Amino acid sequence: MEFHPLYAPSLKEMFINQLQDRILSGELPVNTKLPPERELGEKMHVSRAVVNAGITELARRGFLEVRPRQGTYVADYRRNGNLDTLMAIMQYNGGVLGKEEIRSILEVRWGLEQMAVGRAIDFASDEELEKLGTYVEELGTLPPPTLARAAEIAFRFHHGMTLAGGNTILPLIYSSFQVPCTALWIRFCRKYGVAELRMNMQELHRRLLNRDKAEALQWVNDYLGEAVSGSRQIYEA
């Protein structure tokens, strides 16, 4: 049984969460002008300092735009967002992702994994490829890992594959997707089991060891293609 730490959010966090949720829900559409800071603070019963700090943070996350001498407006976060924006979307509505968000994450991972597989086969040493097998073995240990632990191991396997390929930027990009990818692996394990996740990793690892690029890429296309299309269902929680 897993438990999560409890904490009391600050007024700044509560301010950020309320505006962020209203933006993500569409209640505050793009280009909506917010009231002046003093008025907003009075409406929400917080100080102007809390409002100012919250607006600054929401602008950093890509949700708001502060226009000099004009005011604060809701920004197009899909156009102006960053990794923090993605994390906010992941946590919105208690972490219940929409179908479009899940598909988008899977499609990005699909592209990254194709590049990682190709480079690992072309440039990784035999020792580096063999080391990836330790993660596959770890998933098969008794007692079986928790879903969160299984997802973490899966991430380490795939991240290790990006490192083995020798591209210095790809591992950093892949790391930036750790939270959403881990969340989707947990969802996969909940629906299909840790053994199924291990089988996917084992099959990919076997193709990597054989340096069979065509078969390895086909395997990636098969299991991620099924996830994207919905034939291997993980869109529903």
Match 């390929």 to its residue by tokens. Answer: 165
**Residue from 131, 121, 106 nearest 214 by CA:** 121
Distance (Å, whole) CA 170 – CA 159: 9
Q: What is the pTM of this model?
A: 0.74
CB 131 within 8 A of CB 160: yes
The pLDDT tens digits along the chain (237 residues) read 556 566 677 999 999 999 999 998 899 999 999 999 999 999 999 999 999 999 999 999 999 999 999 999 999 998 888 878 877 876 776 656 677 878 888 898 999 999 999 999 999 999 999 999 999 999 988 688 899 999 999 999 999 999 999 999 999 988 888 888 888 899 899 899 999 999 999 999 999 999 999 999 999 999 999 888 878 777 665
Q: Cα–Cα distance between 98 and 92 in angstroms, integer? A: 10
Task: Pull the structure tokens for residue 158.
Answer: 């795939």
* Radius of gyration of the chain measured on its C-alpha atoms: 21
